[in-house]
Amino acid sequence: MHKCGRVAFVLLFYMLSGIAEAKDTLLSDPVKISQILHSISASKGDLGSRLASAGLHVTQIDIDPVSKQDVADDPEQWALGDVEIHVYTDGEPLAGDCQILGSPTFIKRHGKYLPQDRTGVWLLTGNCALPD
């Protein structure tokens, strides 16, 4: 991996792990997207595999660290250190009877990924349900 690529990946890793404050990041590089998606555990494997088996192709990932102001404005939704992750997809979802739309959103909190929509719940758990 090129030195700039290694630095970017390390910064992204720290941002996702909540170790460092980071700026909003929009990723469209397929290699970086794949690395992130395959590092997230999901039902029957990892998120990258689940998305692929559902017929969804990821085009971008938007990673938005939650600010102190966000937490102050809505403390029931956000906690310090949260990172909001939007996964943008195209393709027609293959989810059987579960009515998903694709393009899930997750909150990463204390090392856990919390789905924010039915698509995210279905991808991570295999259950067709709205988030708690």
For 55-68, the pLDDT digits (tens) are 999 999 999 999 99
**Distance separating alpha carbons of residues 31 and 76, to the nearest angstrom:** 35
Q: Token pair of 121, please?
A: 């719940």
User: For the chain, what percent of residues have pLDDT higher than 90?
Assistant: 76
Read off the pLDDT band of 13 (50, 70, 90): low
Angle made by CA atoms 14, 119, 18, in degrees to the nearest 5: 15
Helix count (H) and strand count (E) of the chain? 5, 7
Helices 30-37 and 3-17 sit at what angle, rounded to 10 degrees? 40
Q: What average pLDDT does the segment 40-68 reach?
A: 95
The pTM of this model reads: 0.81
- Please list the helix, strand and coil fractions of the chain in percent, rounded to the nearest 5, in that order: 35, 25, 40
Residues in a beta bridge with 107: 84, 114
Q: What average pLDDT does the segment 36-60 reach?
A: 95
At which residue do the structure tokens 């998305």 appear? Answer: 51
Asked if 93 and 122 touch (Cβ cutoff 8 Å), the reply is no
Q: Can you give the residue ranges of every domain in the chain? A: 3-125
